Structure 1
Amino acid sequence: MSKPERHVFICVQSRPAGHPKGSCGAQGSGELLRAFQDNFEARKLWGRFAVTQCGCLGPCSEGPNVLVYPEGILYAGVRQGDIDAIIDEHLIGGTPIVRLYPTEEAWSNES
């Protein structure tokens, strides 16, 4: 396997219902992961890019969270409707999507 240009990590962390931090899993990250995988397959992006599930990335209250390497760009509140933009603008085009950045409050509210 060759080194991917960029690697997408999708948090699928789950916590019990009612947990004060919430979780990306409870906010649909499993479906988001499958949608990324399906999109990679349909667009023949495997090899050029990679997508991997992972645990907690930080601002749980604003999940699902997606991290793109090598830049280390974190996206929060990602929905399936954001996948094409992440692929086209960031993975292929190299331009991060500022509107998907987590808020500063998300970091200060974590406990």
Structure 2
Amino acid sequence: MPRPQRHVFVCSQNRPAGHPRGACAHKGASDVLQTFWQELQNRNLYAEIAVTYSGCIGPCDQGANVLVYPEGVLYRGVQKEDVAEIFNEHLIEGRPVERLLAPAEVW
């Protein structure tokens, strides 16, 4: 498999309920990850884009968090309904989705 042009990491961190940091798993991360995988399959972009689940990658209280490389763009508060927009705007067109970007003080 060739190296993908972009690599998407979806935080799937799970912690006990009530943990002070929170967890993306409690904020819909599983649905986000499944939707990314479904979009990848529907578009047949396996050679261009990789999607991987990960542990904690950022501000847990603002999850679900999604990190895109090589740009190092961190999205926060991502819901499954946002995945198609991230695919269209960022992964295909190269324009980060501004409304979902983690602020500079966080990332």
State the TM bucket, normalised to the shorter chain.
over 0.9
Equivalent residues, number? 107
Structure-2 residue corresponding to 1:14:
14
Q: Could you report, residue by residue, the CA deviation over 1:49-100 in whole angstroms, capped at 9, with x for unpaired residues?
A: 0000001011000000000000000000001111111111101101111110
Structure 1: gaps (5+ residues): none
Structure-1 residue corresponding to 2:62:
62
User: For residue 9 of structure 1, what is the amino acid of its counterpart?
Assistant: F
Does 2:62 align with 1:74? no
Structure 2: gaps (5+ residues): none
Instruction: Map 1:1-111; keep pairs closer than 5 Å.
Output: 1-103=1-103
Q: CA RMSD in A?
A: 1.4
User: For residue 3 of structure 2, what is the amino acid of its counterpart?
Assistant: K
Please report the TM-score for the alignment, with normalisation by the length of structure 2.
0.94
Kept after mapping to 2: 8 A contact 1:62/1:106 = no
Please report the TM-score for the alignment, with normalisation by the length of structure 1.
0.90
The list of structure 1 runs, each at least 4 consecutive aligned residues, that deviate by more than 3 angstroms after superposition, is 103-107
State the Cα distance separating 1:7 from its structure 2 match: 0.4
